[in-house]
Amino acid sequence: MKSHTDLKVWQESMDLVEDIYKLSQLFPKDELFGLTSQIRRSAISIPSNIAEGAGRKGKKEWIRFLFIALGSLGELDTQYQISVRLKYTEEIKEIENKIKFIRIMLVKLIESLDK
């Protein structure tokens, strides 16, 4: 790996950030400093922590940042589900599938580094 940008999990999480920004543009304007801000920050945190971890010295630190990314993914999933329950959006299978796929990739990357 030359850079974090070579990682499929980073690339997929960057795509998810774009999807979440497009989705959250449709949220009510009074949510700008609430759910809109929260869901965007969670989305941005995923590739950011993958990148930061990849740039750290040693596997232990990288794994720690991958777990942070995994936590942010959980937050994002929850905030997405809240937006569906509040009827700010319909269920979007593409986003749900990306969240599942990124979770699987993060867990597998953590497991491979932890060996």
What are the tens digits of pLDDT across the range 8-47? 999 999 999 999 999 999 999 999 889 999 999 999 999 9
CB 113 within 8 A of CB 66: yes
Number of domains comprising the chain: 1
CA distance linking residue 25 with residue 28, whole number of Å = 8
Token code pair at residue 20: 């979440």
How many CA atoms lie less than 13 Å away from 2 in the CB half-sphere?
Answer: 2
Residue 71 maps to which CATH number?
1.20.1440.60
pTM (two decimals): 0.95
| Structural domain that includes position 62 | 4-113
CA distance linking residue 112 with residue 93, whole number of Å = 28
* Digit-coded pLDDT (tens) for 41-94: 999 999 999 999 999 888 999 999 999 999 999 999 999 999 999 999 999 999
DSSP 3-state of 11:
helix
